[in-house]
Amino acid sequence: MSEVGDLASRWHVGRVHPTPDVEPDGWTLEKLCDIARLESGHTPSRNRPDYWDGDIPWLSLHDSKTIEGKTLHKTKMTVSALGIANSSARLLPKGTVALSRTATIGKVAILGREMATSQDFACYICGPRLLNSYLAHLFRGMGGEWERLMAGSTHNTIYMPTFQNLQILVPSMPEQEAIAEALSNADGLIEGLERLIAKKRLIKRGAMQDLLTAKRRLPGFSGEWKEKHLGEIAAVIMGQSPRSAAYNSEARGLPLIQGAADIRARKTIRRIFTSEITKLGKRGDIILTVRAPVGEVSRAEFDLCLGRGVCAVRTGQEFVYHALINAESAWSSLSKGSTFDSVNADEVRAFEVMYPLDSEERVSIANVLTDMDAEILALEARLEKARQVKESMMQNLLTGRIRPI
């Protein structure tokens, strides 16, 4: 069984659990400020350069994209001891749980060292009855609650009195430790898969740059390469938008692909339909955007209507698909137009592609890159499953529906 499957099996993911009508056995409803000390941060004066660029990390909304799920050791900005001394900011101890309460609400970090924060964070210093990692996981599972508490605010803010009155269900310390360990293990699996996918993508990018430019040759091949116009090696069918009166959301006719909005992860999606088919795109066609942005490559997952923002590149050669992906950045030099960046049919057909004359070499290169794509897709599927498992674990463990001990 895979790591993801083992995790799902261990925590009964997929089983239906009734929401408890009473507090789980051994859990108590506590006012959070009774078992943790609440602190808010502050921003030292921007007019005092000597208050900034010191050796004290200062957590702010500039860090909001990187803090989620992290034990935080570094921040984008730092303050000086003088800045702390002359402001309402406080040095918070290692282990403090910091929650963003304005703008990007609900981002959580555990401070990995002594640091200060801006006023955009509510920070809890946990007492002996509350484990900081348990509280961090609980906060991460409260997205809907944070949205509810923000309701009515005109500034995307949860105000500090809300945090002073916040109540949470608290299990025993051994159960907090078991819950936090289980969820941290799930986080570790997710982070490991994310790192592996990033590594595989880099390897794939390097392989494309080498194999699709003849910089590196596969064993057994030494034949000539030439620059070919796209129109020489594939049929190009430019799109034409139907009348807007033919648009519908009831699946009458075919999906209409108009541009990047109709593409996800290099695959066409069904978003808008049209009963008037102007230009037909066939399942398996390479779809290329020709208007803002130009040159994005995807695959037609079904028969479709080509809108004016795309064209279909029709060829039986998988090599061409990979070559166009590798050349995506080159289209920017061709795009033009005062309203929309765009390319026309002649420019698409004249686009040059490095092309091995040996058909077996083209097939071999395409097979290598397609296998890499398949490996990445399989890892992405595992990652999505791991995230679903983690979500289910949070819903069950943090409510007492499943007891880890």
- Tens of pLDDT, residue by residue over 295-323, are 999 999 999 999 999 999 999 999 999 99
Domain contains 60: yes
CA 206/CA 380 separation, integer angstroms = 19
Structural domain range at position 262: 225-357
The reply to whether 367 and 345 lie within a common domain is no
The reply to whether 141 and 233 lie within a common domain is no
pLDDT band, very low/low/confident/very high, at 153 (cuts 50, 70, 90)? low
Domain contains 339: yes
CA 70/CA 120 separation, integer angstroms = 18
Q: Residue 378: what pLDDT?
A: 97
The reply to whether 137 and 164 lie within a common domain is yes
Q: Please give the single-letter amino acid code of residue 94.
A: K
Q: Averaged over 19-45, what is the pLDDT?
A: 86
Mean pLDDT, the chain, rounded, equals 91
pLDDT at 69 over 80: no
pLDDT band, very low/low/confident/very high, at 2 (cuts 50, 70, 90)? low
173-211 vs 359-397: helix crossing angle, rounded to 10: 170
Domain contains 270: yes
The reply to whether 315 and 377 lie within a common domain is no
Contact 253, 275 (CB under 8 A): yes
The reply to whether 273 and 377 lie within a common domain is no
Residues of the chain above pLDDT 70, percent: 92
Q: Using one digit for the tens of pLDDT, what is the confidence trace for 316-355?
A: 999 999 999 999 989 877 766 655 688 999 999 999 999 9
Q: Averaged over 257-268, what is the pLDDT?
A: 95
The reply to whether 145 and 251 lie within a common domain is no
Q: Averaged over 216-243, what is the pLDDT?
A: 96
DSSP-based three-state secondary structure for 314: strand
Number of domains in the chain: 3
Domain contains 22: no
**Rounded to two decimals, what is the model's pTM?**
0.84
Contact 179, 397 (CB under 8 A): yes
The reply to whether 123 and 165 lie within a common domain is yes
Domain contains 15: no
pLDDT band, very low/low/confident/very high, at 18 (cuts 50, 70, 90)? very low
The reply to whether 134 and 268 lie within a common domain is no
Q: Which residue's entry shows tokens 């490095």?
A: 354
The DSSP string of 204-261 is HHHHHHHHTTTSS--TT----EEEEEHHHHSEEEE--PPPGGGEESS--SEEEE-SGG
CA dihedral over 273, 275, 279, 281, signed as positive or negative: positive
The reply to whether 52 and 83 lie within a common domain is yes
pLDDT band, very low/low/confident/very high, at 68 (cuts 50, 70, 90)? confident
Q: Averaged over 90-99, what is the pLDDT?
A: 95
In the 8-state DSSP scheme, what is residue 18? Answer: P
- Rounded alpha-carbon distances, angstroms, from residue 174 to 26, 134, 142, 185: 11, 11, 22, 17
Q: Using one digit for the tens of pLDDT, what is the confidence trace for 105-133?
A: 899 999 999 999 999 999 999 999 999 99
Which of residues 170, 204, 239 is at a domain's end? 170
DSSP-based three-state secondary structure for 384: helix
pLDDT at 246 over 60: yes
Q: Averaged over 379-383, what is the pLDDT?
A: 97
Q: Residue 67: what pLDDT?
A: 82
pLDDT band, very low/low/confident/very high, at 10 (cuts 50, 70, 90)? low
Q: Averaged over 75-89, what is the pLDDT?
A: 93
The reply to whether 152 and 277 lie within a common domain is no
Kindly report which listed range (151-160, 206-215, 286-295) carries the lowest average pLDDT score: 151-160
> Smallest Cα–Cα separation from 98: which of 57, 53, 135?
135
Q: Let me know the angle formed at the C-alpha of 222 by 218 and 224, rounded to the nearest 5 degrees.
A: 120
Q: Let me know the angle formed at the C-alpha of 384 by 378 and 389, rounded to the nearest 5 degrees.
A: 125
CA 312/CA 331 separation, integer angstroms = 16
